[in-house]
Each structure stands twice: as C-alpha cells, then as structure tokens.
Amino acid sequence: MASNVSADPVPDFQVIAEGTRFPEGPVAMPDGSLLYVEVRGGTLSRVTSNGSIEEVAQLCPGGHGGANGAAIGPDGAAYVCNNGGFPWSEVNDMLLPVDLATGSTIPPGYTGGWINRVDLATGESRVLYREYDGVRLNGPNDIVFDTAGGFWFTDMGKADHRSWDKGGVYYAQPDGSSVTRQVWPLLTPNGVGLSPDGQTLYVAETNTGRLWAFDLDGPGRVRRPAGLGHGGRLLAQTTAHLDSLAVDSAGNVVVAALANGLCVVSPDGSSVRFIAMPDSFTTNVCFGGPELRTAYVTQSDSGRIIAFDWPRPGLPLAF
C-alpha cells in the first residue's frame, strides 16, 4: 500500500452545468455532450456542447428509486444502475442521502434496486435486472463495460439503524440474459473500473475508504482465492469516503473521495495523491474532450459539474 501520500490544491476549472439534483454518473459522449444522472431527481440527462441541459429519461417511476452510475454499451444504449432510492436529509442547504436521525439509507416505499437500459434516441427505458439467483438487488451503484460486451456493476446494499447489507460485485450481459455474482462480501462497494489491459478490476468501498484490485481470469471471471476471502488485493487504505472512479491512460485509479476531492492511486498502490475540489461532496469522475485530457467531475453538494485539464489522457472506455 501507499508509502507516499500528497495533496494538491483545487485546479483551475470550468463549470459546465449547475442547478442539478445530486449529479453523478458522468459519461463523455463523442459529440461533445455529457450524460449524467440526478440521484435525487431520478433522471438521465444530457449537457449539450452549447451548455444547455436536456432530460433523456425519467428512471424512477412514481418517485421511487435513485439513478446512479451510467455507462454506454456495445449497442449504443445507456445502462444505468438504480440504487433503490434514499431518505434525504438537509444540513445547511446540503442534501445527504441518509436519514441522519437513524443512519438508515432505506427510503419509504423501498422495493429494491435495479439496472436500466435506456435508448438514447427515444428515451425509452426498460429494467434488465432486479435480482440475482432469486435475491433482489438492494443498491446497484456503479457500472463499467469490458471489451467483451458485458458489464460489471457494484451493489452497495442498504443500511438500517443497526445493520449494513453485505455488498457485492456482479457481471451481467446487456441483453438481460445472465448475471453472476463475482465478489462477495464487500462493505459498501461503490466505484468500479478496469485496468488498461482489462486484466484487473478495481472496486472502491465507501465507508471503509479502501480500494481493492481483483485479478481476472477472463471476461466476467474474478480469480478465486485458494482459501477464505474474496481474493482482492488491498491497493490503498484511506481515511476518505470513496465513491465512483475512473482510470487514466497511465493506469492510475482516480477515485472521487467525497469531502477529500479526488484520490489518485498509482497502479501498484505505492503512491496516493489527493486533489482538492471546490465542493464538499465530490462523487464521480470521467474523462472526455480532445485526446481524453479533460476530467469531468460531479459536485453533488453544489449541484454542479465541473471540467478541468488532466495531465495525461484518460483511459478510453470499451464503448
């Protein structure tokens, strides 16, 4: 794990969207637009290249649920994790996805979480998965496709006033035909991503501040340990609450670290660097723009999405 931890100041940035309701799940598109979700609003939306905002799809019928991580699949559709919703608390005008009085993340009317497929041309959406092996998904959070056309997603689970669900990592097909659980248990797994060679899966845990690396034996297959445990290598242990992540072309894992900004972890875990952000709730990051040298970061306290230059290209996504 890291022997070198450093901190950088807030970079020069541009605000590309504001007034959103807890933005997450940014996806930079080839036409210069940016997809993102609003967790509180339950929508998949688009910031166009001229700065206007368009709603693509409403993903929380009747106000139930909460859109979360998003990714583009091999068919050009968007695939969106739905965390099942949260009870929201407000402190000094800041929205928090938890009932602060009880510590519960289970909202009224909660029926579990799910995975949506969204046609970006029409806005039509359908639910692909609500359960694994007869057990409902509780809080799907983040998602990434591999070059084989399948996708990894985390299920963060839910908490009540006394207990937390055991979370896990799943691999699924975009046609709704198959979902398998590949890592279990984890405590509040959130961000998920792949190394440049596609041989390593990265998973960030929110409440523990841990970043795990899992060796893969092929598409959708985590290498199994000989003994007990889930087989992950602890790449970094931080004091931050980790959220979603992206990977750059050098293999650095860039993790949104909520109040700590961005956490940049070298591929071997020997270096951990924090980059301060102008918001107390930095939740997601992706790369886009010319040569993928622009970092887009969701700021869920202020409801803004910002962009700034990254020192190297980001890692191209599978689709």
List Cβ neighbours of 227 (8 Å cut-off, separation of 6 or more).
none
- Tell me: pLDDT of 174 over 90: yes
Please report which residue ranges of the chain form alpha helices under DSSP H.
none
Q: What is the mean pLDDT of residues 72-86?
A: 98
What is the reported pLDDT for 62? 85
| Burial category of 201 from C-beta neighbours within 10 Å (exposed 0-12, middle 13-18, buried 19 and up) | buried
- Any idea what DSSP says for residue 74? T
Cβ 199 vs Cβ 206: under 8 Å: no
- Tell me: pLDDT of 2 over 60: no
Q: Which domains does the chain have, with CATH numbers?
A: 18-252 (2.120.10.30)
Rounded to the nearest integer, the mean pLDDT of the chain is 96
What is the reported pLDDT for 3? 53
Q: With cut-offs at 50, 70 and 90, classify the pLDDT of residue 57.
A: very high
Span 177-195, pLDDT tens digits: 999 999 999 999 999 999 9
What is the Cα–Cα distance from 138 to 49, expressed in whole angstroms? 35
Q: Which of 143, 26, 150 is nearest to 79 (CA)?
A: 143
Q: What is the mean pLDDT of residues 297-312?
A: 97
Q: With cut-offs at 50, 70 and 90, classify the pLDDT of residue 169.
A: very high
What is the reported pLDDT for 310? 98
Q: With cut-offs at 50, 70 and 90, classify the pLDDT of residue 229.
A: confident
Distance in Å from the first CA to the final CA of the chain: 31
Q: With cut-offs at 50, 70 and 90, classify the pLDDT of residue 197.
A: very high
* Distance set, CA 30 to CA 44, 76, 82, 239, 287 (Å): 17, 11, 25, 36, 11
* Distance set, CA 125 to CA 56, 66, 143 (Å): 10, 14, 17
- Tell me: pLDDT of 124 over 70: yes
What is the reported pLDDT for 226? 75
What is the reported pLDDT for 4? 67
Span 89-115, pLDDT tens digits: 999 888 899 999 999 999 999 999 999
Q: Which residues pair with 44 in a beta bridge?
A: 37, 57
What is the Cα–Cα distance from 142 to 278, expressed in whole angstroms? 23
Q: What is the mean pLDDT of residues 190-217?
A: 98
Q: What is the pTM of this model?
A: 0.97
- Tell me: pLDDT of 258 over 80: yes
Q: What is the mean pLDDT of residues 295-319?
A: 97
Q: With cut-offs at 50, 70 and 90, classify the pLDDT of residue 225.
A: confident
- Give the H/E segment covering residue 106: none
Residue with tokens 């084989």: 148
- Tell me: pLDDT of 1 over 60: no
What is the Cα–Cα distance from 297 to 294, expressed in whole angstroms? 10
